[in-house]
Amino acid sequence: MLEKQTQAIDTTLMLLVKQFHSPLLDWVMRGASIIGGTVVFTLMCLILGAIFWGRQQRVYLTALAITAIGGTGLNLLIKQLFNRPRPQLWQITTGEPNTSSFPSGHAMLSLVIYGFIGYLLARHFRRWRWWIVSLIIVLIVLIGFSRVYLGVHWFTDIVAGQAAGLTWLMACLLNLEIYRRYHQYRKKSPPSLSS
């Protein structure tokens, strides 16, 4: 990407996507992009955080904060390091921030936030976990594709954003599971006998 070796394939894929533009798809893709935007993520995290706080689920509240804030910070850091210009082939949407194109914040944070929510739902509703996982995957892919469709990101921005998001999410969920299991083990362990 730094050597512009992906530029040809990025341009080819964007022009291929442009062939499928229609007024209906424009509307659908704008909606998908909004669902993957900062305002929606912030509201969802605040609502979920309030639920965890009310139920005194501090472990999940802390995990949500680390996952969301850490993912956002990591995305901004990578953007600063690469500073890739956004595509100029077309733009259907308006009001895009003047930030680096690489990696896509929508792609990265949709995987981080919706992935975290999907993990919680799949744990709670085990009977429906495959449906939940499938719907979350479809939503994440749709949000990523919408950014290419709207002309505000290159294809490689989406791939990089989702790869970085998946890496960060897996690290956060692994730590959460280790923490949970450690505390479950401590609760089940008999108290040590003092001599």
**pLDDT tens profile 39-85:** 999 999 999 999 999 999 999 999 999 999 999 999 999 998 888 88
pLDDT of residue 100: 81
How many Cβ atoms from other residues are within 10 Å of residue 165's Cβ? 28
pLDDT of residue 91: 66
Angle, nearest 10°, between helix axes 105-124 and 38-54?
A: 30
pLDDT of residue 87: 84
Report yes or no: 146 and 32 within 8 Å, Cβ to Cβ: yes
Report, as an integer, the average pLDDT of 24-36: 93
* E strand or H helix that includes residue 166: helix 155-188
The secondary structure of residue 150, as a DSSP letter, is: T
- Using pLDDT thresholds of 50, 70 and 90, give the confidence band for residue 195: very low
> Residues 122-181: pLDDT tens digits?
999 999 999 999 999 999 999 999 999 998 898 999 999 999 999 999 999 999 999 888
